[in-house]
Amino acid sequence: MIRKLVQNRLVNVRMLTRIAGWLLLIESFFMLFPTITCVIYGESDWLPFASAACLTALCGLILATRSRPTSHHMGKRDGYLLTAMVWIVFSAFGLIPFLFCSRPLSVTDAFFEAMSGFTTTGASVLSSFAELSHGVHLWRAIMQWIGGMGIILFTLAVIPMLNHSGGMQMFNAEVTGITHDKIRPRISQTAKSLWLIYLSLTIVLVLLLWAGPMDLFTAICHAFGTISTGGYSTSETGIIAWDHSVYVKAVLIVFMFLGGVNFGLIYKCARGNFRVLRSNDVFRAYLGIIGVMLVLFAVSILWTGAWSGWQQLTLDPLFQIVSTITSTGFTVANFELWGPFVLALTFVMMFFGACAGSTSGGAKIDRILYLFKNSRNELYRCLYPNAIHSVKVNDKVVSPELVSKVIAFLCMYMLLVVSGGIALTACGVPVVDSFFSAFSCISNTGLGAGVTGYGQSYEIIPAAGKWILSLLMLTGRLEIFTILVLFLPSFWRG
Amino acid sequence: MKIVIAGAGEVGSHLAKLLSNEEQDIMLIDQDTERLSVLDANYNLMTVVGDPTSFSALREADAGRCDLFIAVTPYESNNIVACSIAKNLGAKKTVARINSYDFMDPANSAHVKHMGVDKVIYPEYLAAEEIITALRRNWIRNWFELHDGQIILAGVKLRAGAPIVGMKLRDFTFTNHHFHVSAIKRNHETIIPRGDDQMAEGDILYFTTTRDHIDELITLSGKTEQKIRRILIMGGSKIAVRLVNLAGDEFRFKIIDDDRALCNRLPQKCPDCEIIHGDARDIDLLAEIGIADMDAFVALTDSSETNIFSCITAKELGIKKTIADVENVQFISQAENLNIGTVINKKLLASSSIFQMMLDSDSSTSKFMALADADIAEIEARPGSKITKAPVRELKLVREMTLAGLIRDGQGQLITGNTHIQAGDHVLVICLAGSLHKVEKFFV
């Protein structure tokens, strides 16, 4: 297939390999942090990290220097292909440390773990964290942190050479949302501003957590996992280890919530324009859904009687709701005792996700709004066939083409969940757990399979199932089109 | 530089793409969501959907903080209003495209300025100027002047039988010190020539020279200079009216148009020229007017196709010089190969004129953009820059560029291998499109 592309000159292969090379250099740079951490803590894992960093850097250097592009032009195909490829390549190199660390994983498990990290799913195959080194914890956190805002977006911010239309194509292929709003005229400025917001939020969160009961290392790891809405924790029980601390939970709720807000909106607020919050339909819907869910959760918990204090009726459900809707996937204690209705609501929230243009997963509230408004119009049209009703979001009329694209997206999303779930049952996973895991992975939530009572972590899922889930995570993170377009025959033919 | 462009029509989009490639911050405002979404998805710029004459849209585009505000919607009054609002919001400099001479008239300039419009762009006027230049230098295809004509870059098509056909560039410069062959356009491609390249029949050669030697080019390229006097204009468009009024007594014009109502109005606007009602594609009619006596034929109808084909017909009827207005940008390259003398395009003229304006505020580089795939730029050599370190032949310059001439202390001279560029020189550089940023590195 690749040869066909080169022959047909559909894709600028040399340019793609060169950029992939640069990206690998960036990844190897990030691998240095766990290496140093291991050295500081006197752990033997520094060796696998150091060698992985060297190998990645070497491959990166070879690709970046050996490939001499004749043209710098990058079209739509290049954008899609490169973005999809980069996420896979990043995971492929990111798994190396897991293979050789003090608690080695199989290739399947390591790939799953890396993909789950980069896509900020936070689904883990690790069930016992006792033997894990600090380096491994940090690497899992860093993977989520880079993946949260986006690998490509990071590259656009740091490599000035991508500040042209080719960079635009990559931006479009990676950034979540329907229309990919830019916040500043040039793509590198947009990327820089977004990363600056992201970085500042992370630093504030680290400091806040550090000021609480956490030590610096744990604070960093949790901050990375929270703001990226990833959901990896440094303890095998996850956030339950901090169940006693109202402070930690409150801080995490706020920052998970922020991670689910459109970063363009945060940028505008940071520049003093708070009016945008009130006029933004999606943000209001985001708040509204959380409010309604909180009431439903509280009633449901009261009904099942699984509570012993006010905290279990207010803070815990709120934490769980924000964690689910932003696709972070932290769970509070006793979540599984709250009953099937809550589990069903969890499905709904995983499907919804938070705002487009945030680090969260799911289908995004924007699209759900389009869907509901359009459905209402269709119903209205049954009564008044000649009435013209348009879908209006954020005071702007949306073109019918965009609405149809959104509905196509939602249909494909559901089809993928269904086919993913069915494929998992073929691997021998029980029906409910299959669909829950498929949903959890495509929405990048990563709520443990344990929630449905099937095993403690994703470790229990058979190897084939893990590959299927990894693919679902990637498809979900890149919002379906970027991956599925690669399967279109005309992508590979002129 | 922060630039806000109001109107994503052909001029607006063209400018936006051009300036975005030059690494400027571009905000594009238009009411057409569809048109903007295409540009937004494919180019490195930001778009705002909204009415360019509304405060809200201009605020959203942050027009108050821009360095340059360009209003190029199709309507003159909208452009003026948009500029006025932008200026009041705090835009540093505003440019409006206008459709009548009224706003350009020096008598009104203070009022126009008062309305918040710093500069006006009148594409029909630019086109008329371009046509007059082409008529005066009728043996030349393209003509650029630097510093009041101290250095001239002229594009000439090489005829069969010209003395320099088949000559290698190295031998040519050996005998002709006053000319520098800066670029060759062969078929659809522009080449930056080296000493080994040969000049062939049908090439368009771009010579750099000084004013004193320009006339020698006529014989070198196998041309004969004709004095143009009688001109037939097809289509009584705005350009035609502007052209007739701008040219004065230098030429005698006949305008032919197939719209009777328009023909009836024309004598008011162009008092001294003869108006004929009819279709200029009708050869009998042309013979009746006396096409054989005409020196030049200028096709200015609204249809690019009609203009191109009627120019070809006019050539066949024996007219020496033809000029076609080709508004479809896609056709230009094809039209240039079709033996039509000069092709003009209002949109390109307007965009390059605005582009020039932008560069005026940043005087170190200025660029003309009349060639399809090559850039011509005037760059000032900064003190301590790489280009001033050694004579040209010892500099390792990139292959896509050539240094044609320079202006030192207001005097133009050509650059040879022995020239040592000094700080403060304005150098004329010709390079292939897209490589200007590589070239600029030598000058900073």
Mean pLDDT is highest, among A171-180, B286-295, B369-378, for B286-295
Percentage of chain A beyond pLDDT 70 is 96
> For the segment A375-414, what is each residue's pLDDT rounded down to a tens digit?
999 999 999 988 888 888 888 888 888 899 999 999 999 9
> For the segment A192-233, what is each residue's pLDDT rounded down to a tens digit?
899 999 999 999 999 999 998 888 999 999 999 999 998 888
Chain B: which residues have CB within 8 Å of chain A?
2, 20-21, 23, 25-27, 33-34, 37, 40-46, 49
Catalogue the E-assigned strands of B50-141. 68-71, 93-97, 119-121
Q: Is there a contact between B25 and A189 if contact means CB atoms under 8 Å apart? A: yes
Residue B370: predicted pLDDT: 53
Say if residues B190 and B372 touch (Cβ distance below 8 Å).
Answer: yes
- What is the full DSSP assignment across B35-62? HHHHHHHHSSSEEEES-TTSHHHHHHTT
Q: Name which of A168, A179, A396 is nearest B44 (Cβ-Cβ).
A: A168
Say if residues A325 and A288 touch (Cβ distance below 8 Å).
Answer: no
Residues of A in contact with B45 (CB under 8 A): 185-186
Maximum Cα–Cα distance for chain B, whole Å? 67
Which of A72, A168, A175, A394 to probe the B interface (max B CBs under 10 A)?
Answer: A168
Where does residue A230 rank: exposed (0-12), middle (13-18), buried (19+ CB within 10 A)? buried
Q: In the predicted model, what is the mean pLDDT of residues B193-208?
A: 83
> For the segment A326-358, what is each residue's pLDDT rounded down to a tens digit?
998 888 888 878 888 888 898 899 999 999 888
Rounded CA gap, B192 and B205, in Å? 10
Please determine, for residue A108, whether its predicted confidence score (pLDDT) is greater than 90. yes
B368 confidence band (pLDDT: 50, 70, 90): low
Strand partners, B49: B30
Rounded CA gap, B405 and B415, in Å? 5
> For the segment A471-489, what is each residue's pLDDT rounded down to a tens digit?
999 999 998 998 999 999 8
Rounded CA gap, A87 and A92, in Å? 9
> For the segment B47-70, what is each residue's pLDDT rounded down to a tens digit?
999 999 999 999 988 899 998 999
Q: What number of other Cβ atoms are within 10 A of residue B272's Cβ? A: 12
* Whole-Å CA distances, A119 to A25, A111, A419, A463, B119: 20, 12, 20, 19, 51
Q: State the smallest CA–CA distance between residue A163 and chain B in angstroms.
A: 7
* DSSP type of residue B381: P
Rounded CA gap, B231 and B322, in Å? 10
Helices marked H in A9-95: 13-41, 46-66, 76-94
Q: State the smallest CA–CA distance between residue B391 and chain A in angstroms.
A: 30
Rounded CA gap, A475 and A176, in Å? 12
Tokens representing B157 are 């098509």
* DSSP type of residue B158: P
Q: Is there a contact between A182 and B46 if contact means CB atoms under 8 Å apart? A: yes
Residue B223: predicted pLDDT: 75
Say if residues B101 and B269 touch (Cβ distance below 8 Å).
Answer: no
Which of A169, A182, A394, A405 to probe the B interface (max B CBs under 10 A)?
Answer: A182
* Whole-Å CA distances, A148 to A154, A198, B415: 10, 9, 55
Q: What number of other Cβ atoms are within 10 A of residue A85's Cβ? A: 16
DSSP-based three-state secondary structure for B206: strand
Q: In the predicted model, what is the mean pLDDT of residues B168-174?
A: 79
Helices marked H in A260-399: 263-270, 275-279, 281-304, 310-313, 315-325, 340-352, 365-383
If you measure CA to CA, which chain B residue comes closest to A172? B41
Please determine, for residue B384, whether its predicted confidence score (pLDDT) is greater than 70. yes
Please determine, for residue B232, whether its predicted confidence score (pLDDT) is greater than 80. yes
Q: Name which of B25, B34, B49 is nearest A185 (Cβ-Cβ).
A: B25
Q: In the predicted model, what is the mean pLDDT of residues B180-201?
A: 82
Q: In the Cβ-directed half-sphere of A184, how many Cα atoms lie within 13 Å? A: 19
Of residues B6 and A333, the one with the higher pLDDT is B6
Where does residue A401 rank: exposed (0-12), middle (13-18), buried (19+ CB within 10 A)? exposed
A450 confidence band (pLDDT: 50, 70, 90): low
- A280 — phi, psi (to 5°)? -90, 110
Q: Name which of B2, B25, B33 is nearest A399 (Cβ-Cβ).
A: B33
A256 confidence band (pLDDT: 50, 70, 90): very high
Rounded CA gap, A321 and A290, in Å? 7
Mean pLDDT is highest, among A272-281, B110-119, B373-382, for B110-119
Residues of B in contact with A156 (CB under 8 A): none
Rounded CA gap, B61 and B65, in Å? 9
Q: State the smallest CA–CA distance between residue A271 and chain B in angstroms.
A: 13
Dihedral (Cα; A267, A273, A279, A285), 10-degree rounding: 40
Average pLDDT over chain B reads 84
Residues of A in contact with B20 (CB under 8 A): 186
Residue A494: predicted pLDDT: 65
Chain A: which residues have CB within 8 Å of chain B?
163-165, 167-169, 172, 179-180, 182, 184-187, 189, 396, 399
> For the segment A5-58, what is each residue's pLDDT rounded down to a tens digit?
555 567 888 888 888 898 899 999 999 999 999 999 988 888 999 999 999 999
Which amino acid is located at B158 in the chain? L
Q: Is there a contact between A182 and B40 if contact means CB atoms under 8 Å apart? A: yes
Angle at A151 between CA A147 and CA A156, to 5 degrees: 145
Q: In the predicted model, what is the mean pLDDT of residues B203-211?
A: 84
Strand partners, B322: B297
Of residues A186 and A290, the one with the higher pLDDT is A290
Say if residues A290 and A317 touch (Cβ distance below 8 Å).
Answer: no
Q: State the smallest CA–CA distance between residue B27 and chain A in angstroms.
A: 6
Residue B297: predicted pLDDT: 92
Rounded CA gap, A112 and A209, in Å? 28
Q: Spell out the long-range contacts of A414-421 with Cβ–Cβ below 8 A and sequence spacing 24 or more.
A: A416/A442, A416/A472, A416/A475, A416/A476, A416/A480, A417/A442, A420/A468, A420/A469, A420/A472
Residues of B in contact with A396 (CB under 8 A): 49
Q: In the predicted model, what is the mean pLDDT of residues A260-266?
A: 90
Rounded CA gap, A246 and A248, in Å? 6
Residues of A in contact with B2 (CB under 8 A): 185
> For the segment A88-100, what is each residue's pLDDT rounded down to a tens digit?
999 999 999 999 8
Percentage of chain B beyond pLDDT 90 is 20
Of residues B260 and B142, the one with the higher pLDDT is B260
Q: In the predicted model, what is the mean pLDDT of residues A234-244?
A: 80
